[in-house]
Amino acid sequence: METMKDEYMVSGDGRKPRLITPPKACETHSHIFGPADKYPRIPGRKPSYGASIEAYETMLKRLGIERCVIVQPSLYSTDNRCTLDAIAHLGQSRARGVAVTKKDIGRSELQQLQDAGMRGLRFYLIVDDFVMGDAPEMARRIAPFGWHLQVQDRGNWLPEAIPLLEKLPVDIVIDHVGRTPPENGVNDPGFRALLRFMETGRCWVKISAPYLASNDGPPRYADVGDKVRALVSVRPDRLVWAANWPHPNHAPGNKPEEADCLDVLLDWVPDTAVRNAILADNPGILYGFG
């Protein structure tokens, strides 16, 4: 992919983690922001900086991560070209993707995305590409391909969303530990609903972006750690880990340290076998690496 010019570039540099990752470790949620003249951006959506595939590879190597999942950013809406090019650059032995599509997408186009490495459909409800009411129809369209529906919102959204999501004919992936309000901790009604949903085995949760719903903050994110321990106690086989690079909610030059977000697993998931499953085995199943 081309080198970006005339805009701030996010680096993949940082410290090395203390945690030693297992073979086939997988980072399951990051974005690539390519050159604006090659990949047109949706006006008014952020971020405005660049995040190249080369910088992303630097970050993966530093963390000891072999596999990855590139998630279509809201910056490009339903134009998946930048994400598809990133997957092609890395190769499907290493990379998978999660797409955003038009609501009327047909089977042949979904098959093309499947062949290119896509394995899920993103419902990022903080923008207007989809609303929750679109979920039943979109789940019907993606079900024949074995895709999951990846959902993210914020605030007190889960108690209303889960009764709809649990009826869908596809697995559900919840981003960023659910982004439930931090002040209620593990007793938050939405988080308790998420734990019950996880018990069914059809809900997966990404341990990622702890800074989005933490009052305690780095490097320990202790309040998020309490939630992760609760999730582990319910269905450790339905958890995956992600860096959320390049941390699009943060201003350029002020990104969180990815090694901090990985090292917290030493405390949150002290059992090595369970931790290695979260880092390697579980995403291998979810994203079909084989």
The pLDDT, as a whole number, for residue 3 is 46
pLDDT in tens, 16-41: 999 999 999 999 999 999 999 999 99
Give the rounded percent of residues in the chain with a pLDDT score beyond 90. Answer: 94
Rounded average pLDDT over 37-62: 95
Rounded average pLDDT over 159-165: 98
The pLDDT, as a whole number, for residue 48 is 87
Cβ-contact 224, 213 below 8 angstroms: yes
The pLDDT, as a whole number, for residue 252 is 76
Residue 10, token pair as written in the block: 């996010």
Residue 71 has pLDDT above 90, yes or no: yes
The pLDDT, as a whole number, for residue 4 is 47
Does the N-terminal peptide bond of residue 256 adopt cis geometry, omega within 30 degrees of 0? no
Cβ-contact 255, 244 below 8 angstroms: no
Rounded average pLDDT over 42-58: 94
Q: What is the mean pLDDT of the chain?
A: 96
Cβ-contact 234, 195 below 8 angstroms: yes
Residue 1 has pLDDT above 60, yes or no: no
Q: pTM of this prediction?
A: 0.96
Cβ-contact 59, 258 below 8 angstroms: yes
The pLDDT, as a whole number, for residue 6 is 52
pLDDT in tens, 76-92: 999 999 999 999 999 99
Four-point Cα dihedral 124, 126, 131, 137, nearest 10: 0
Q: What share of the chain is helix, strand, coil (3-state, %, to 5)?
A: 40, 15, 45
Q: What are the angstrom distances between the C-alpha of 5 and each of 2, 9, 51, 52, 90?
A: 9, 9, 11, 11, 22
Q: Which domains does the chain carry?
A: 26-286 (3.20.20.140)
Q: What are the angstrom distances between the C-alpha of 99 and each of 71, 156, 163, 212?
A: 7, 25, 24, 22
Rounded average pLDDT over 92-100: 98
Instruction: Tell me which residue has tokens 């997988």.
Output: 26
Residue 5 has pLDDT above 80, yes or no: no
Residue 136, token pair as written in the block: 């039943």
Cβ-contact 46, 8 below 8 angstroms: no
Residue 62, token pair as written in the block: 């530093």
pLDDT in tens, 236-261: 999 999 999 999 988 878 899 999 99
